[in-house]
Amino acid sequence: MKKAVVVFIALILGINSFGQSTSNKELKNNIDGLFESYSYYNRFVGSVLISKDDHIIYQKSFGYANVDEHKKNTEKSIFSIASLTKSLTAVGVMKLVEDGNLTLDTPISTYFPDFMPDFSKEITIQHLLNNSSGIEANIGRTDDNGNGLMPEETPITFDELLEKFKDSKLKFEPGTAYDYNNFGYLLLANIIEKISGQSYADFMEQAVFKPSDLKNTAIASFKPLNQKTQPYLGLGMNKIQNLNSSFHPSWLKGAADMNSTTVDLFKFMQALDNGTLLKSEYRNKLYTSSQEMGVNEMVSGLGWVIGHKGGEKWIYNNGLLPGYASVMGSLPEENIKIIILSNATSVNPVIDEFQGEVTFVPEITDKIISLFQGKSIEILPIPKKIKNTSIVNITKEYQLDDKHSLLLKKEGNTYTLETADNEPWSVFTYTFSRNTNENDAFSETALFFANAMSTQNFEGLINYANDDMKGFLGTEEGLGQLKGMWRNFLQHAGKFISYNIFKIDGDDVKNVHIRFHFETVDVGIVLSLNTDHKIQGMFMDDSVKTNHINTVKLIPISENEFFINGHQNGGMQDLKITASDKGLILTDGSINFRAEVMNP
């Protein structure tokens, strides 16, 4: 059965909201409040530069470039820019095209005749640039079949990589699909060297860095060293820690081996816009020689992604490496440029299984764009000291429903919220734990399916399927897949405990969301039901979360409001609690769950 995500809920949480901006001063204050709130919770460490009509309207740095040396980030701090490197490499390649030394249609067999000889004549320079080559060989990413290599601390030569990938094949015909590929940019860096007769670093210095006046940008090095930032892990936690091991830059040459500053990247974007680097004909090819990515009408250009935010064109690139995150983008219709460089991630995104946000840079970027578009955003609430200390210790119990209640406790100046009841549950998963109030024919179908799955007794299930799904639910092959799924759940999630329907949405066609609660992990399945209440589709529901934390610390933000930091509790969503003598409101995203006080 094909796994698909059918529902994605963006939980943008917080308390304070910013409304429409009427002046640059107000806009700047709103942006500053956004960064200050994320910095307070250690969710942003780094530097930012934002411009409008080529005038810098916001420039500020947060956190430390080096904690041990007590050196703070400044506008001069130099960061690894990770995959933003590709945007500059693409300009270097396009400079060769402009000078007549190369074409976008040139096949890579021209330069690597012995590499993938059965396929290299079909792969062009453009395919490498817009990630449409289809090459199995990759670095920093591996596919389901194990193709690809992860970078290591020891250096590697290009010839050694070619040898490792000598048996690579194509995933698809070049130019027909999108698949992000770092190795393609290593090939491009070496093509630059073959054509120019220079090292990749020397060519980029001559063709891109110097014309743009990039004084603090370098390949695989920092200039000067005293402005180098130390990469950190633990973003969003109470403390960050040094990232002491990383990969050698030779593994990602041309793809993610540059270091730069926000100021230099701003100069680069200006030089690209004003024709200093490329004539308009060749600059425009960066954005028009594209490949559809298959997501939200986004396309991959040559080193850039072209998408939309709030109906406006958004041309950008993101970067992510262990300890570093970055974004560089523009809203060309408004001539707005946004550059954010960070030297902290929550975990090593290559090897760690942490389920929280690896970086908050994309989230922050979306909110900045919303502010420019005059929209309200929500920021993280800054804690306030509660003045009323007359009651030292209190405990109040609140009932959410007949199966879930909460204990709000105050001990000295510490507030906590504890889940009660016989069956363990977490405040972060209440959305999935509670039962929907709807009880109709759609629920009847879903409950029959849930019971059939949990008991592995599928007799009669075919009666709840439409004609198409009868070919699946009424065959040994189809039921064999369901049985195999259940065995896999039990193997990886432990003992089955219970199931419930937590949401039903849709108009004529209903999506019924079922949560199967196991010993260690919860599993979600969505049934798509037609107007006759018959199953017409079935999907895994990745919105279902698992959390076993039953006591959380409350952060006071007013006399009766509290913030729950989800990122520090297993990487979950942030929550808000509003409490009074009469009741309590648990806010999860845009949903409010009301609880009545017990034994007032």
Q: What is the edge-to-edge ordering of all strands in the sheet holding 305-309?
A: 55-62, 46-52, 336-342, 324-331, 312-321, 305-309, 299-300, 291-292
* Other C-beta atoms lying within 10 Å of the C-beta of residue 173: 11
Residues 279-295, buried b or exposed e (16+ Cβ, 10 A)? Answer: eeebbebbbebbbebee
Q: Which of 132, 58, 80, 63 is nearest to 326 (CA)?
A: 80
Q: How far apart are the first and last CA of the chain?
A: 51
Q: Are 548 and 522 in contact (CB under 8 A)?
A: no
In a 10 Å sphere around its CB, with 0-12 CB exposed, 13-18 middle and 19+ buried, how is residue 425 labelled?
buried
Digit-by-digit pLDDT tens for the chain (600 residues) are 333 332 222 222 333 444 443 478 899 999 999 999 999 999 999 999 999 999 999 999 999 999 999 999 999 999 999 999 999 999 999 999 999 999 999 999 999 999 999 999 999 999 999 999 999 999 998 888 888 999 999 999 999 999 999 889 999 999 999 999 999 999 999 999 999 999 999 999 999 999 999 999 999 999 889 999 999 999 999 999 999 877 899 999 999 999 999 999 999 999 999 999 999 999 999 999 999 999 989 999 999 999 999 999 999 999 999 999 999 999 999 999 999 999 999 976 666 667 789 999 999 999 999 999 999 999 999 997 766 555 567 899 999 998 899 999 999 889 999 998 877 899 999 999 999 987 789 999 999 999 999 999 999 999 999 999 999 999 999 999 999 999 999 999 999 999 999 999 998 899 999 999 999 999 999 999 999 999 999 999 988 999 999 999 999 998 899 999 999 999 999 999 999 888 999 999 989 999 999 876
Q: Which of 372, 330, 334, 367 is nearest to 23 (CA)?
A: 372
Domain extent listing, the chain:
1-18+384-426+547-600, 439-540
Identify the helix (H) or strand (E) that includes residue 194.
helix 183-196
Q: What's the CA gap between 216 and 233, in Å, rounded?
A: 24
Q: What is the edge-to-edge ordering of all strands in the sheet holding 496-505?
A: 496-505, 510-518, 522-529, 535-540
Q: Which of 297, 489, 365 is nearest to 44 (CA)?
A: 365
Q: Which of 363, 300, 309, 302 is nearest to 334 (CA)?
A: 309
Q: 85-98 and 280-288 are packed helices; what angle lies between their axes, rounded to 10 degrees?
A: 130
53 Rama sector, left if φ>0, alpha if ψ -120 to 50, beta otherwise:
left
Record: fold of 439-540: Nuclear Transport Factor 2; Chain: A, (3.10.450)
Task: Using the structure block, give the residue that is written with the tokens 């194990």.
Answer: 146
Q: What's the CA gap between 554 and 100, in Å, rounded?
A: 64
CA angle 470, 472, 476 (to 5 degrees): 110
* Other C-beta atoms lying within 10 Å of the C-beta of residue 208: 22
Q: SS3 sequence, 277-332? A: CCCHHHHHHHHHCCEECCCCCCEECCCCEEEEECCEEEEEEEEEECCEEEEEEEEC
SS3 assignment, position 591: strand
Q: What is the Rg, in whole angstroms, of the alpha carbon atoms belonging to the chain?
A: 27
Alpha helix stretches (DSSP H) within 393-512: 430-433, 441-455, 467-473, 476-493
